[in-house]
Amino acid sequence: MNLPDDVFDVIAQQSRLILTGIIISFVSTLIYKVTPTGFKSMGKFRTKEGAIFIYLIAAVVLGLATPLIYQLSGIIIETVPLVSIIGFLIVSANFIINQSVPTWSHTTPKTLIIYLLGIVIILIGYYFRFTI
């Protein structure tokens, strides 16, 4: 048994769960954001009570949506090339991280290069899917 092969086997077998977790993480960053100075939702700082309420509602809604997102993840994995999914994950991770850190911008040269890299990887996946 080769360790890298085992890791790739686990990732392949659990890819729907992994993608489901990533999608839920992405959606949660759109609902709320925790900053060093407070809790923001819909662009506004919230009180402690409001933050608890929003967090609990988001947890319940995303928990209930998890089976649907899991099915969607399966459809994505079956129809979208793996290379394109990796490119999408790069773009998504870049977006989530830049949203999470208040002082980071989506328009810095490094950030734009990462977005461009992700988009190129997405296109490469589709290009090879249709040319092979």
Q: Domain spans of the chain?
A: 1-79, 80-132
- The residue-averaged pLDDT of 19-47 equals 86
First CA to last CA distance, the chain: 31
- What does the alpha-carbon distance between residue 55 and residue 20 come to, in Å, rounded to a whole number? 19
Q: Which residue's structure tokens are 């899917």?
A: 129
pLDDT confidence band for 113 (50 / 70 / 90): very high
- What does the alpha-carbon distance between residue 42 and residue 53 come to, in Å, rounded to a whole number? 14
Residue 1 reports pLDDT greater than 60: no
pLDDT confidence band for 49 (50 / 70 / 90): very high
pLDDT confidence band for 121 (50 / 70 / 90): very high
Residue 5 reports pLDDT greater than 70: no
What pTM did the predictor assign? 0.75
- The residue-averaged pLDDT of 117-121 equals 96
pLDDT at 109: 94
- The residue-averaged pLDDT of 57-66 equals 95
